């Protein structure tokens, strides 16, 4: 999403279905004590069946409305290890889960 005062991105990076799609919610006027204007809040939506799921997302925001869209990370869950790879630099963070 881009506006005159910045941009924001939210993306589903879950390694397996169900995949959620980007959407947005517009706040009503005067719903914030800091800003009287309406705001657009990025969200993820989708149908999720009963059961166990990992919900994972990448979020980025900038006060620069001309900022480039970031390269999304890759997330992998395998053998009780969660790996997040920064596709901009190639570094990977591994966490035992």
Q: Structural domain boundaries of the chain?
A: 2-96
Q: What is the DSSP letter of 17?
A: S
Tokens of 4: 């005159």
pLDDT band at residue 95 under the 50/70/90 scheme: very high
Structure confidence at residue 24 as a pLDDT band (50, 70, 90):
very high
pLDDT score recorded for residue 40: 86
Q: Are 67 and 26 in contact (CB under 8 A)?
A: no
In this predicted model, which residue has the larger pLDDT, 34 or 44? Answer: 44
Residues 26 and 59 sit within 8 Å (Cβ to Cβ): no
CA atoms within 13 A on the CB side of 80: 2
Neighbour tally for 5: CB within 10 Å: 11
Strand order of the sheet with strand 81-85?
Answer: 74-78, 81-85, 92-96
Average pLDDT, the chain: 90
pLDDT at residue number 62: 92
Q: Flag whether pLDDT at 52 surpasses 90.
A: no
Q: Are 44 and 57 in contact (CB under 8 A)?
A: yes
> What integer is the mean pLDDT of 69-79?
92
* Predicted local distance difference test score (pLDDT) of residue 17: 73
């Amino acid at each position: 999403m881009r506006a005159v005062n910045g941009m924001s991105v939210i993306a589903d990076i879950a390694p397996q279905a169900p995949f959620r799609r980007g959407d947005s919610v517009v706040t009503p006027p005067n719903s914030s004590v800091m800003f009287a204007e309406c705001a657009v809040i990025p969200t993820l939506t989708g149908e999720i069946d009963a059961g166990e799921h990992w919900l994972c997302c990448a979020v980025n925001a900038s006060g620069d409305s001309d900022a480039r869209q970031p390269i999304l990370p890759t997330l992998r869950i395998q053998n009780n290890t969660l790996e997040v790879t920064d596709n901009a630099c190639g570094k990977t963070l591994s966490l035992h889960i």
